[in-house]
A and B are shown apart, each in its own frame.
Chain A
Amino acid sequence: MNGNGDRPGPAGWAARGAVLAAVAALVLAVPAFRGNVEVHVFTQAAIYAVIGLSLNVLLGYTGQISLGHQAFVGIGAFTAAYMVSRQGQPFVAGIVMAMVVGGLQALVLGAVSLRVTGLYFALVTLAYGTMAEESLFNIQSLTGGSAGQPAPKPAWFSTDLRYYYLCLAFLAAVIWIDWRLMRTKGGRALLAVRENPKVAATNGVDVKVYTLMAFVVAGVFAGLGGALLAHNDTFVVRDLFDFQLALVFVIMTVVGGLRNRTGVVLGSAFFSLVGYFFDKLFKGGLAVPGLKVLPKEYVPIVIGPVLLLYTLTRHPGGVGEQIRPLQRWLRGGRFTFRDTSESEVRVSDVRA
């Protein structure tokens, strides 16, 4: 949506520039002055953003739900760890392999989605995630079983700070791809398929191929996210990839606002940072009178569902919808709340 109407004057542009500069400084400069442990958290936020965008391709663009996304990510993580610490391959090989394997497993699931749709497909993904968690990720020769698999940081990015910038770069790449995808025929095809496969087909879109393509893209992004996650922790263990995590992924994407890049990135970052900020606010957990102390580990899964239900029932557009006016303003449009109300419900429609 390009902000139409009168363009702002030099002052206006300056103001916009200032805002953008402030954001850039926050993202780029601030971590340089924090301790390693905190940078590690910020890095995770960047990685979650990649994962959120991955899920957004399925949930948002193709309207296919995935309740097993922890498997998508986990497979990437374990592939990377395996390549590096079992096969002695370099970091890049691990990343690439993670993306390839991630894309492949997504392709398989996508093939299922062509036959099994809507709610039933949601079930399949759920079962898939659990299967991966309980079975795949326990195969010792590949994942190191419950002891996990080490995944050292790459040589040139061995400090947390450098690795943070590396992950930012990857996030930027993913954002770029996602942006171009939605600005070109591929993305338009996906939206058409999601809303009405018949119309898409009459427009010359091969529905099957594009559905599969969406899965592959999501899988590749997820694989990348997983690989980055593994190296950030320098250690992967299956316990990380449980049902709760899958739901947190879905929640952060929906709350972020499906089909809204910025919203998804913000939502994802928020859910990965919320524990950290919570810890800053109440050192050692929040002591609710009459209740147990709430440790920071549980914060995301406590407030996550609440935000989810609030979003679904009140603001289907999620965070992305709320920041639309700001985005329009930054693009040089007027700061108005006009046309921020998209009636269309944001979680995928069931395919008949």
Chain B
Amino acid sequence: MTGRSSKVAVARGAAVALVLLLAAACGQKSNVGPDAAAPASAGQGGAGGAAAAGQAGSGGGGPDAVGAGSRPDAAPSGAPGGAAPVGGSASSPGSGGSTSPASGPGSAASGGGSTGSAAGAAGSAAGSGAPTGRSPESAGAPSGSAAGAGAGHGPGATAPMPAPPASGAGDRTGVTDTKIRIGIHAPITGAAPFPQSAFDKGKDVYWKYLAEKGGIFGRNVEIVFRDDQFNPSRAVQVCREMVEQEHVFILMGAAGSEQITACARYADTMGVPYLSAGVNEDGLTGLSSYYATSQTYVQQTPVLVSYIVNKLHKTKIAIVLNNTPALNETQQSVTKLAEAAGLDVVRNSRIGKNATDSELLSEANALRMSGAEVVYLLTSPVNFVKLATNAQAQAYSPVYLGPGITNGLNIVAEAGCPAIGQAKFLSPFPQLDVIDKLDPDYQKSYEKYNGQKGDDIGLAEWGLSKVIGAMLQAAGKDLSRQSFVAALQSGRQFNTNVYPVVSYSGSIRFGAKSSHLLEADCNSRTFKTIAEFTTGF
């Protein structure tokens, strides 16, 4: 981490070098002396740019001077580390509000109230900085998305579903008497994609099934899907599209911790409820609109450690995580608990999301040299399979295990067998071998609508949809973002018998207590469920 001072030094060096060069360019016969000319004109360069910007400001200025006025203090306060994105992206909704016709102040107030208190209760570092920084934004948020609608109605705008103006009843964006629009983002291209066909087949099954049973108070759910390309920046863009163009009621993230974190932060600034399978807590803690539908990585750690100790009876463990800051907490918790449980952590390493083959090869080699019997693994499926393949090529096959949303999918077994051996992953959803026992409707419905047996990707979507369905049901007939949030925070338990039971409160957003443990079976090249709704061993 470079300090301010060194940065300044760099700046000075930079300036000097450039000036020297330009001075050289100015040298020779020209009457303008280099030393005099270059710095002066350089100065003008900066000034010129600034001036240009200024004019643009006055020239292109929209209405709202107030919202803008309130910004400058927001920016610096958002500066240090984790809080930055909050303070930063906070600017967009405020602006959204600015361009909007003054709509539903009542709703704004209420929204601000609830979320603000929520953030306050969550007493994390980000949280503590939050309420002051965020309350105006979350207040502006509902009207902000409404504003998006207003803007969307410009010539040729493609918003098939107009958002009804927010009434006193609350923010009903994406909700009509017959429809509820839900946005979901997942990677179907990029570094660690789902096979698109499977994903598309699965995403509507539960909602069709529900529609036949009368929907949710007569409303059917319509899914808007976007590919986030396994890229956080892209994820934010597609979430913007879904919120500001498609006007969805809530957002869901299917997989990919970085994408989920990035999008959740955006959703938070817009006051749009955001649900995803549990991933990292760092960066999500204190977000007023975020809810995890399954255990976070940290929550899964004790389960895994107890399994290593009590079931595997191994002692030498290596820890390999994707190299992203959000997983530092996971690495710490695993290391701490493992050592506490008397395990010997022989290697603790991070590998890049786009690690090259040679890097994975040398990592596999290093693991082998470390003599680890168990590898706690939290990486993208691709890196996992490549790593295992390289390890096997080195005649080294430890037991792989870890938390997972995607690593427990059968495509991983197909790709990775035999290299991955009896890899074990916790998962929010069970595997196909037990689903008929837990929820016979899944296979029935899947076959009904797709004419073939359902796969586990469909199952994952089914489970998540079922949770959301239960929540929408709980929100009651008069559905609005406020009533939905109220239902979630009521502390009521949502039981789907597919995903673990979850319950939230104003301060508890990682509300799941159990997970399923899956194990690779390389004879059938599938994952099998070896423990359902487990909380430890």
A residues in contact (CB < 8 Å) with B: 33-38, 40, 83-88, 90, 92, 95-97, 100-101, 103-104, 107, 134, 138, 140-142, 144-148, 150-162, 164-166, 168-170, 172-173, 186, 204, 206, 209-210, 212-213, 216, 233-237, 239-240, 280, 283, 295, 297
**Chain A residues with CB under 8 A of B88:** 84-85, 150-152, 234
B325 and A140 within 8 A (CB):
yes
Please give 19 more A-B residue pairs, beta carbons under 8 A apart, in addition to A158-B94, A166-B57.
A35-B152, A35-B157, A35-B245, A87-B79, A100-B18, A104-B14, A138-B323, A146-B324, A148-B258, A155-B71, A159-B96, A159-B99, A162-B61, A166-B53, A169-B52, A233-B233, A239-B233, A240-B233, A297-B229
A-B contact pairs, 27 of them (CB 8 A): A34-B157, A35-B151, A37-B241, A40-B240, A95-B49, A96-B49, A107-B17, A141-B1, A141-B2, A147-B262, A152-B89, A153-B91, A153-B92, A155-B74, A156-B71, A158-B67, A166-B53, A169-B56, A206-B25, A213-B21, A234-B236, A235-B232, A235-B236, A236-B233, A239-B190, A240-B231, A297-B227
Chain B neighbourhood of A100, CB < 8 A: 11, 14-15, 18
Given A37-B245, A103-B18, A237-B231, CB of A170 within 8 Å of CB of B4: no
Whether B352 is near chain A, meaning CB under 8 Å from some CB there, is yes
* Cβ contact within 8 Å between A96 and B322: no
Q: With the chains together, A234 CA to B265 CA distance in Å? A: 12
Which label, helix, strand, loop or mixed, suits the secondary structure of the A interface?
Answer: helix
Q: Which residues of B contact A234 (CB under 8 A)?
A: 88-89, 92, 236
Q: Does B62 contact A (CB under 8 A)?
A: yes
Residues of chain B from 407 to 445 with CB closer than 8 A to chain A in the complex:
none
B50/A92 in contact, CB under 8 A: yes
B353 to chain A minimum Cβ distance, whole angstroms, is: 4
Residue of B nearest to A231 (CB): B88
Residue-wise, chain B 205-239 has the 8 Å CB interface mask toward A (1 for contact) of: 00000000000000000000001011111101100
Cβ–Cβ < 8 Å partners of B89 in chain A: 150, 152, 234-235
CA of A186 to CA of B25, assembled, Å: 9
User: Which residue, of A38, A40, A90, has the highest number of chain B Cβ atoms within 10 A?
Assistant: A38
Partner of B354, one of A134, A206, A209, A216: A134
Q: Given contacts A36-B96, A213-B25, is CB(A170)–CB(B52) below 8 Å?
A: yes
How far apart are A174's CB and chain B's nearest CB, in angstroms? 10
Is A204 a contact of B28 with CB atoms below 8 Å?
A: yes
Q: Would you give the 0/1 interface string for B52-64, flagging 1 where the beta carbon is closer than 8 Å to chain A? A: 1101110111100
Residues of A within 8 A of B14 (CB): 100-101, 103-104
Q: How many A-B residue pairs have CB under 8 A?
A: 227
Name B's A-contacting residues (CB within 8 A).
1-2, 4, 7, 10-11, 14-15, 17-18, 21-22, 24-25, 27-29, 46, 48-50, 52-53, 55-57, 59-62, 67-68, 71-72, 74-76, 78-81, 84-85, 87-92, 94-96, 98-99, 148, 151-152, 154-159, 189-191, 227, 229-234, 236-237, 240-241, 244-245, 258, 261-262, 322-326, 352-354, 356
Chain A residues with CB below 8 A from B25, complex form: 186, 206, 209-210, 213
Give A146 to B324 CA distance when docked, in angstroms: 6
Query: Once the chains bind, are A161 and B52 in contact (CB under 8 Å)?
Result: no
**For B11, what are the chain A residues with a Cβ–Cβ distance below 8 Å?**
97, 100
Instruction: Indicate whether A172 sits within 8 Å of B62 (C-beta atoms), given known contacts A158-B68, A159-B95, A235-B236.
Output: no
Q: Is the CB of A169 within 8 A of B241?
A: no
Shortest B507–chain A CB gap in Å is 25
A-side contacts of B244, CB under 8 Å: 35-37
**Given A100-B15, A233-B237, A36-B232 contact (CB < 8 Å):** no
- Chain A residues near B56 (CB-CB < 8 A): 157, 165-166, 168-170
Once the chains are docked, how many angstroms separate the CA of A101 from the CA of B362?
A: 34
Residues of chain A contacted by B94 (CB below 8 angstroms): 158
Select which of B85, B96, B353 is within 8 A of A150 by beta carbon. Answer: B85
The minimal Cβ–Cβ distance linking B529 to chain A, given in whole angstroms, is 31
Using known A-B contacts A95-B49, A158-B68, A236-B233, determine if residue A104 contacts B352 with beta carbons closer than 8 Å: no
Q: Known contacts being A37-B245, A147-B258, A237-B231, is A85 close to B68, with CB within 8 Å?
A: no
Q: 8 tightest A-B contacts by CB? A: A165-B60, A152-B88, A88-B79, A169-B56, A155-B71, A159-B95, A158-B91, A33-B154
Question: Closest residue of chain A to B29, judged by CB?
Answer: A204
Contact partners of B96 in chain A: CB under 8 A: 36, 159
The contact of B325 among A144, A157, A159, A237, by CB within 8 Å, is A144
- When A100-B11, A204-B28, A237-B231 are in contact, do A145 and B91 touch as well, CB less than 8 Å? no
Identify the closest chain A residue to B54 (Cβ): A169
User: Closest A-chain residue to B188, C-beta based?
Assistant: A295
Q: Contact between B49 and A159 (Cβ–Cβ < 8 Å)?
A: no
Residue on B with the closest CB to A166? B56
Contact of B92 among A156, A158, A204, A297 (CB under 8 A): A158
**CB nearest to B236 among chain A residues:** A235
State which of B75, B190, B261 has its C-beta within 8 Å of the C-beta of A152. B75
* Nearest opposing residue in chain A for B197, CB measure: A292
Contacts of B28 in A (CB 8 A): 204, 206
How many whole Å from A46's CB to the nearest CB in chain B? 11
Q: A36 — nearest CB in chain B belongs to which residue?
A: B244
What B residues does A206 contact at CB under 8 A?
Answer: 24-25, 27-28
Q: Is A152 in contact with B22, judged by CB distance below 8 angstroms?
A: no
Residues in B with CB closer than 8 Å to A35 are 148, 151-152, 154, 157, 159, 244-245
Is B262's CB under 8 angstroms from A148's CB? yes
Q: A36-B151, A147-B325 are in contact. Are A142 and B2 (CB under 8 A)?
A: yes
- Collect the chain A residues with CB atoms within 8 Å of residue B17's CB: 104, 107
Residues in A whose Cβ lies below 8 Å from that of B157: 34-35, 38
**A5, B61: Cα distance in complex, Å:** 43
Q: Which of A140, A158, A240, A297 has the most CB of B within 10 A?
A: A158
Q: Complex Cα distance A41/B378, Å?
A: 35
Question: Which residue on chain A has the smallest CB distance to residue B352?
Answer: A138
User: In the complex, A84→B55 CA distance in Å?
Assistant: 22
- Taking a contact as CB atoms under 8 Å apart, the answer to whether A173 and B52 are in contact is yes
Complex interface: chain A residues within 8 A of B55 (CB): 169
**Which residue of B has the minimal Cβ distance to A96?**
B46
Closest-CB distance, B357 to chain A (whole angstroms): 12
Shortest distance in angstroms between A167's beta carbon and chain B's nearest beta carbon? Answer: 8
Q: How far is the CA of A216 from the CA of B17 in the complex (A)?
A: 11
Q: Is the CB of B233 within 8 A of A34?
A: no
| B99: A residues at CB distance < 8 A | 159, 161
Cα-based distance from A34 to B29 in the complex (angstroms): 53
Chain B nearest CB, measured from A217 CB (Å): 10
Q: Which residue of A lies closest to B65 (CB)?
A: A156
Say how far B320's CB is from chain A's closest CB, in angstroms.
Answer: 15
Contacts of B18 in A (CB 8 A): 100, 103-104, 107, 216
B62/A161 in contact, CB under 8 A: yes
Once the chains bind, are A85 and B15 in contact (CB under 8 Å)? no
Known contacts: A134-B356, A156-B71. The answer to whether A36 contacts B85 by CB under 8 A is no
A34 contact from B60, B90, B151, B326, Cβ within 8 A: B151
Give the docked Cα–Cα distance between A101 and B79 (Å). 21
CB distance from A210 to the nearest CB of B (A): 7
* CA A168 to CA B191, docked complex, whole Å: 34
Q: Is the CB of A209 within 8 A of B53?
A: no
Contact A283 to B91, CB < 8 A, known contacts A35-B152, A88-B79, A166-B57? no
- Please give, as numbers and ranges, the residues of chain A lying within 8 Å of B60 by CB-CB distance: 161-162, 164-166, 168-169
Residue of A nearest to B159 (CB): A35
Give the chain A neighbours of B232 by CB distance below 8 A. 146-148, 235, 237
Cα separation A206 to B32 with both chains bound (whole Å): 17
Q: Distance (Å) between the CB of B513 and the closest chain A CB?
A: 28
